[in-house]
Structure 1
């Protein structure tokens, strides 16, 4: 029997298109198998509970879009600064709480769009944005614990275009090509996996993860799971 020595908080909700319940359920056995006692919350109200967050070593968030109150985002920022780890994937972390500049600053990158297929190929559903693309591991990523040993890999799903700042450490990127039906004039490279230090806390963002099949991709899943372990509160942050 695994001894539960760490505390993880799974916070899920928001847009149902990302299947927040089923998506997070994929990773709870991994957390429990690595000694985390897991608490699940269906709203962000827990972020305003300073005592609960201070006792949490890792927050796994899957809340796309939605809204967050000022006291909730302040509580989240305070907890991460004090050492609580924060991680998630896709829109559940980098397309959350679009109206909160304090949240966007904490995460360091924000979903802008996911370019689509040629207009004549579109059918009017989410598949219009499923494109083949490559995730390229950076030089830093080849030695970082989250992505060490991971080779460049290909996906066919939403390819996130992310607006970001220079405080993130980019472990992998993806490049959006120019196409005749798009208005930009040169390829755009976006971070696909990044980490961020915030006070004593660690943040990991993985942009692939639109659907369960992507989360079950062995490489994507490995990156997310390693990110959970790396982001977890370290002894020096206790």
Structure 2
């Protein structure tokens, strides 16, 4: 059986330690039988054929700008079954002006009240998803992400706001998604808002969720191929965004 192929797109703002996160993820994927490629330029997204050959795309790129044409290549590749998985700002604070990117990923960062070093808990939502099996609630001291989230996502973990008093506090208690999954066409999307610094994944529960999410997202390509489905069903001459 051929190895699964994973692309890690590494760059953007250095404060989120993209190189350390990429090293952790690529080591795990290599040990899990993946052929792993690291790219540090957005130019790789011009290669439409290569993107379609992937099983898994992992963005580790906070902020920056992405041209709409390149996003369209990704949208089609992910829609065909290529999985996408990532964490923190490297996925949901990438390319802030790109609304198609945000639509694919399931949400976008808007604030982290209190900045780094905020103590909070992650609450696991047990459901039919195998990704949370045997994982219990756990404590974190890091940035607590406030996100605008697609209502279509399946929420697997939440955190409670407000932790730090600010303008948002007058809305009362809010359960904010921390981990979610969704579909984009036939592709699987996994997001974990933890990961301000790489060492948050030294927390066993956080790393278990992340590892499972990476592997889960990568399975969508195989399933799509076995079912013989095609993105032709999504073709339309109507304006979508």
Q: TM-score, normalised by structure 1?
A: 0.89
| Superposed CA offset, 1:118-168 (max 9, x none) | xxxxxxxxxx5321101111133xx41222111011100000001112111
The answer for the alignment partner of 1:36 in structure 2 is 34
Q: Is the 8 A contact 2:181 2:188 kept in 1?
A: yes
How far has the Cα of 1:44 moved from its partner? 2.2
Q: Is the 8 A contact 1:73 1:102 kept in 2?
A: yes
Once structures 1 and 2 are overlaid, which stretch shifts more, 81-90 or 70-79?
70-79
Q: Tell whether 2:123 aligns with 1:136.
A: yes
The answer for the alignment partner of 1:213 in structure 2 is 199
Q: Tell whether 2:25 aligns with 1:27.
A: yes
Once structures 1 and 2 are overlaid, which stretch shifts more, 197-206 or 20-29?
20-29
How far has the Cα of 1:84 moved from its partner? 0.3
Q: Would the alpha carbon gap of residues 95 and 192 (structure 1) be closer, same or farther in structure 2, given more than 3 Å must change?
A: same
Please give the alpha-carbon distance, in whole angstroms, between the structure 1 residues aligned to 2:150 and 2:210. 21
How far has the Cα of 1:206 moved from its partner? 0.2
Q: Is the 8 A contact 2:5 2:56 kept in 1?
A: yes
Number of equivalences: 223
Please give the alpha-carbon distance, in whole angstroms, between the structure 1 residues aligned to 2:163 and 2:59. 33
| Superposed CA offset, 1:76-99 (max 9, x none) | 111100000001000000101000
Once structures 1 and 2 are overlaid, which stretch shifts more, 81-90 or 219-228?
219-228
Q: Tell whether 2:192 aligns with 1:194.
A: no
| Superposed CA offset, 1:5-26 (max 9, x none) | 1101111100000111111101
Q: Which sections of structure 2, spanning at least 5 residues, go unmatched?
A: 226-241
Please give the alpha-carbon distance, in whole angstroms, between the structure 2 residues aligned to 1:135 and 1:110. 19
SS at match of 2:141: strand
How far has the Cα of 1:187 moved from its partner? 1.6
The answer for the alignment partner of 1:122 in structure 2 is none
* Deviation >6 Å, runs of 4+: none
Q: Which sections of structure 1, spanning at least 5 residues, go unmatched?
A: 117-127
> Among 39, 48, 51, which residue is 1:50 paired with?
48
Tell me which protein shows more helix as a share of its residues.
2
The answer for the alignment partner of 1:174 in structure 2 is 159
Cα RMSD between the aligned structures?
1.5
Please give the alpha-carbon distance, in whole angstroms, between the structure 1 residues aligned to 2:155 and 2:186. 19
Please give the alpha-carbon distance, in whole angstroms, between the structure 2 residues aligned to 1:13 and 1:210. 14
Q: Is the 8 A contact 1:4 1:37 kept in 2?
A: no
Q: TM-score, normalised by structure 2?
A: 0.88
Please give the alpha-carbon distance, in whole angstroms, between the structure 1 residues aligned to 2:101 and 2:40. 18
Please give the alpha-carbon distance, in whole angstroms, between the structure 2 residues aligned to 1:10 and 1:39. 6
